[in-house]
Amino acid sequence: MTTNCNEGFSELYYSIDMSGNIWDGQKRRAWMVALFFGCCLLYAARNIMPVCSHAIAMESGWTRQDEGLVLGIFFWGYMFTQFLGGLLSDMFGGQLVILSSTFVWGIVTLSFTMLPLASTEHDGTFHFFLISRFFLGFFQGFFYPSLASLMAKHVKTSDRQFTYAFITSGAHAGTLFSGLVGSFLTEIFTWRIPFFLIGSLAVLWSALVFQTMLRFPPPVLFLHKVGPVPSPPIKPSSYRQGSGLVSFEFALTPSGSLSLQKHQTCSAASSSPPPPSLVEVATAVATSDNLRGSAALRAASAVPLNWRRLCRKSAFWSMIFGNFTFNNTFLIILNWSPSFFHDRFPESQSWVFNVVPWLIVIPCSLLSGVLADKLITQGLSVTLVRKIITTIALFGTSLFLLILPRLQTFMLSLICLGLAVACCGFHSSGILLNPQDIAPLHGGKVFGIMSTIGTIPGFTGVYLTGYILQHWGSWSAVFHFAVLGNLFGWIVYSIFGSAKPLV
């Protein structure tokens, strides 16, 4: 290590395993397609219960409150594995976690077809449904934190918005698939057939991707100090630290080692700049597109997440709250919109309102990724882009939900709900990407915390909707409750939200 304040720099060299760098174009596209179908099946399995709940409730004699409990308990299980999913993915790789958990929840989905045979008592069958829905949520909870971890470690910042939006648009495709196929198969045969079909496809998908695409990540290697190795620099990465400008200049050796030169403008009170710390190295590597991937993974393994610092930031809590309020609204729409149309327009075809509103959300989700990437490449700050996209998702959805209960015709109600769901599609390039912005080394863990808290309205909001309908029968009250939370979340995030790295 050499130090020279007059020249304003100090050097330190680190050896990092670069063998599993960011995905190249071909590999990224292959995983995009594979994970799109995985996300599609994830939501198909999750949403088939709301699609078939009317038929199951009629067969089993459930009340609206019972129905709300079965729909909502999914999120109790979902909540338990959010942080665990991010932690395991940061340690062992998101691919392995996603495929393993998908295989298990595929089996759980298949088990629903046998539940009516497990007990002849009404209460016994009801409790079996509750237990199965809980475990379905438990194992599905691994998916999104694992996906966030993958995005942070294997996809460049400039490609991340569209990649994430494309993959998560599979959620809307899955909702569309379950609505179309589930409605037809339930009307023609029985509600058991769509559960069997979706569960079988999930098991098949996980086994197929495991055999054809999975590559176990290399062993975790920490950063090691080595001697100076001359090599031309490939990319500078700069940021402000204290009162001076700190910049890092990287160079790769033929053997794959990383040399790091730290430049710092010396202050009047300092005789020499300090050498780069391990945290500085890890952050510099993680925020450099050319050095992302396994280098960031190895560095992250050595640097713990500073929870105390993160929890003191208003940007972190505004992200948590914005996602919380969005989830409350979206999950009410997802779980209760079929019942809304059954109540308001009982003569309408179920496949129409289970399918049509979700047709527009897929292109809107993709559009959000393209729009976000375009705005960022044109020079807008990532923070401003996140707030623009979130305004469409939260404020836009609120506007159409205020109109929906006032409409008297089936066609206008269908269009209005479709526009509300379309606005929801923009969320995939807004707050959902924020954990990777504020914690580039620990995107999976922070996403897990955000998603854990975000699952609470999945139970409380969905169950409260059933309670309101059971006792007052007011859909206006349901939608006004959702809109109030949405607008509050939008205001808080617009004021305090940020995409700058916090830890």
DSSP string, 280-328: HHHHHHHT-GGG-BHHHHHHHHHS---HHHHHT-HHHHHHHHHHHHHHH
User: Does residue 97 lie in a domain region?
Assistant: yes
Task: Tell how far CA 290 is from the center of its chain.
Answer: 24
Report the relative pairing of strands 9-15 and 3-4 from DSSP bridges: antiparallel
Of 255, 283, 303, which residue sits at a domain end? 303
| pLDDT tens digit at each of 503 positions of the chain | 444 444 343 444 443 433 345 777 888 899 999 999 999 999 999 999 988 887 888 888 888 788 888 888 998 898 888 888 878 887 888 889 999 999 999 999 999 999 888 766 766 688 899 999 999 999 999 998 899 888 877 887 777 778 888 898 898 889 889 988 888 898 888 999 999 999 999 999 999 999 888 754 443 333 434 344 334 433 444 333 333 444 545 444 444 444 455 555 444 444 444 555 545 555 555 555 444 444 444 444 446 778 899 999 999 999 999 999 999 999 899 888 888 998 899 888 877 887 888 888 888 888 998 899 899 889 899 999 999 999 999 999 999 999 999 999 999 999 999 999 999 989 988 998 898 889 877 777 888 889 889 888 888 888 888 888 888 888 999 999 999 999 999 999 999 999 998 87
Domain that holds residue 268: 3-20+220-303
Query: Whole-angstrom Cα distance, residue 131 to residue 150?
Result: 30
For residue 439, the model assigns a pLDDT of 86
- 437 to 99, 288, 503: CA distances (angstroms): 26, 13, 10
Paired strand residues for 251:
233, 259
Contact at 8 Å (CB) between 413 and 341?
A: yes
Alpha helices in 61-156 (DSSP H): 64-72, 74-80, 82-92, 94-111, 115-118, 122-140, 143-154
Residue 332 and residue 286 share a domain: no
The structure's pTM equals 0.68
Q: Position 317: which residue type?
A: W
Residues 156 and 275 in one domain: no
Residue 145 in contact with residue 448, Cβ under 8 Å? yes
Domain CATH for 326: 1.20.1250.20
| DSSP state string for 390-445 | HHIIIIIHHHHHHHGGG--SHHHHHHHHHHHHHHHGGGGGTGGGHHHHH-TT-HHH
**Is 254 domain-assigned?**
yes
Decide if 336 contacts 478 (C-beta within 8 A): yes
Give the chain's domain count: 2
Sign, Cα dihedral of 90, 92, 98, 101: negative
Instruction: Supply the pLDDT for residue 281.
Output: 54
Are residues 203 and 276 located together in one domain of the fold? no
pLDDT at 294: 45
Regarding whether 238 and 181 lie in a shared domain, the answer is: no
User: Under a CB-based contact definition with an 8 Å cutoff, are residues 169 and 76 in contact?
Assistant: no
388 domain-assigned: yes
Asked if residue 195 belongs to a domain, the reply is yes
50 and 126 both lie in a single domain: yes
**421, 293, 300, 439: which is closest to 359 by C-alpha?**
421
Q: Which of 277, 303, 329 finishes a domain?
A: 303
Residue 241 forms part of a structural domain: yes
482 and 380 in a common domain: yes
Residue 189 covered by a domain: yes
Q: Within this chain, do residues 142 and 48 fall inside the same structural domain, yes or no?
A: yes
Place of tokens 């960022």: 376
Domain boundary among 281, 303, 325: 303
What pLDDT is stored for residue 334 in this prediction? Answer: 84
CA of 100: how far to CAs of 92, 159, 205, 215, in Å?
12, 27, 11, 14
- The answer to the question of residue 502 being in a domain is no
Calpha distance 69→412 (Å, rounded): 30
Per-residue pLDDT at 393: 96
447 and 330 in one domain?
yes
Residue 412 sits in the same domain as residue 328: yes
Q: How many Å from the N-terminal Cα to the C-terminal Cα in the chain?
A: 26
Q: 173 and 40 in one domain? A: yes
Give the separation between CA 3 and CA 15, rounded to whole angstroms: 20
Residue 241 and residue 361 in one domain: no
Q: In this structure, is residue 367 part of a structural domain? A: yes
444 and 488 fall within a common domain = yes
- Identify the bridge partners of residue 15 per DSSP, sorted by sequence position: 224
